Amino acid sequence: MKILKTLFLSIAFISISSMAQVMPTEGLPTATLDENFHLTLDPAIPVADYYKVDISHLDFVNEADAIKKCRVYLTGNLISNEVHFSENFIIVHIHTEYMAGDLDHAKIQTYLNQVRKPE
């Protein structure tokens, strides 16, 4: 029975991951991420839904460590991310569709200042 469950879960996982779409990263605006996972958007660029963020300067032990830390310190109600460890970047998705009012850079940056690693 345990083998059957494992087989079923493996098939389900493979099916779901094969349906995932790869987002093209060319043309995405960039943001910066410091050691405390403080994400900073460039105020000269209009607010976007997706940002490409370099993580090559961060000291992750391995891919699992990068995913864990990004999910803990860089995730919230209005922000999620996808780690591309082997390419040294993450894609940050800011869920602007859930933000009331104008997509003001200062408003979004104030939110992002709260979503970070505790000091």
Q: Which of 36, 33, 34 is nearest to 91 (CA)?
A: 33
Are 37 and 69 in contact by the 8 Å Cβ rule? The answer is yes
Per-residue confidence band for 9, with pLDDT thresholds at 50, 70 and 90: low
Per-residue confidence band for 12, with pLDDT thresholds at 50, 70 and 90: low
pLDDT of residue 18: 41
Largest Cα–Cα distance of the chain, in whole Å? 58
Are 39 and 33 in contact by the 8 Å Cβ rule? The answer is yes
Average pLDDT, the chain: 85
Q: What does the pLDDT look like over 26-44, one tens digit per residue?
A: 889 999 999 999 999 999 9
- What's the Cα-to-Cα distance from 81 to each of 4, 41, 44, 101, 117, rounded to whole Å? 33, 15, 22, 23, 15
Stated pTM of the model: 0.76
Write out the two tokens for 23. 């987002």
Per-residue confidence band for 24, with pLDDT thresholds at 50, 70 and 90: confident
